[in-house]
Structure 1
């Protein structure tokens, strides 16, 4: 990735790397707080795996997402995919958080991070059964996920979205 003449890369969080988190502000307090105060603990406990978008050797973080394993209720799926799953819960890769620093917003970085998260979910699905990527979205983000091909649950919790990994593999 290139950004304003600077090399931008995505890397899995490494506890031994000194990342520059000081100026990260995505305008969402709980996402800022997660990055600065909780990310290291969750990664160490293997609760989630953070991926950081950084600028060159400075390691300034301008975006991130987290992935973990989980499941959603089959009833959250729309009718066609629901028929494919014989169990009451569906194995998923959960996109727990995704955020882009204000200074990097408006350039498609969020969309690229989401694409990379889906690619990582596909990689994970090659080692363990994973039907979809799932997430919970705040209402003001619903259109973003719908435009990316996520399907909103039509029963249960309307904040739940899923993206079939079979669908994702067909687009790669």
Structure 2
């Protein structure tokens, strides 16, 4: 009997990465052979979705600190900010769901969990950014109200103020 879906940090000992297959070789290979190293080296924080008691991974995503050039962002977002050339952001580096688990809204579950973690983080971040691998990924993020950067059509962002509103927050921005 499967339990309630659970999202937690990747544990190389207790999570079975060997059978994960999302249909994108680079993402499969990353989870199977690189994600644990990235976690140990503190390059990325990989989170995995499971249905306990099974150790099989249904899906995963990674988070890491990043920066974005202020000039890349729309003026409506940066006009009230200090004139720093580079601004803090959080990179949602990878997000994938096993092909056998598609159509169950696990991608949305993973995305919302990632956004919630970014919002709760004690590290300053203006936005969550993603680098979509293909048009299907761009569509997925746009359905979740991410915005394309004008000069980089596969790089999308969602301002933290919008994420705060998504979860019913009341961030007060200074005027």
Task: Name the SS of the counterpart of 2:62 in structure 1.
Answer: strand
Tell me the equivalent position of 1:82.
78
Deviates more, 1:5-14 or 1:83-92: 5-14
CA offsets 1:100-127 (integer angstroms, 9 cap, x no match): 0001111111011111100010111xx2
- Superposed counterparts of 1:31-110, under 5 Å: 31-85=27-81, 86-110=83-107
Tell me the equivalent position of 2:142.
146
State how far apart, in whole Å, the 1-side matches of 2:134 and 2:57 are: 26
> Is contact 2:2–2:53 with CA below 8 Å preserved after alignment?
no
Task: Name the SS of the counterpart of 1:47 in structure 2.
Answer: coil
State how far apart, in whole Å, the 2-side matches of 1:122 and 1:152 are: 20
State how far apart, in whole Å, the 2-side matches of 1:104 and 1:83 are: 43
Specify which structure has the higher proportion of helix. Answer: 1
Tell me the equivalent position of 1:137.
132
> Is contact 1:76–1:160 with CA below 8 Å preserved after alignment?
no
Instruction: Find runs of 4+ consecutive structure 1 residues off by over 3 angstroms.
Output: none
How many pairs does the alignment contain?
A: 165
Consecutive unaligned residues in structure 2, runs of 5 or more: 168-175
> Is contact 2:2–2:51 with CA below 8 Å preserved after alignment?
no
1:49 deviates by 0.3
Consecutive unaligned residues in structure 1, runs of 5 or more: none
Tell me the equivalent position of 2:110.
113
Of 107, 119, 122, the residue aligned with 2:119 is 122
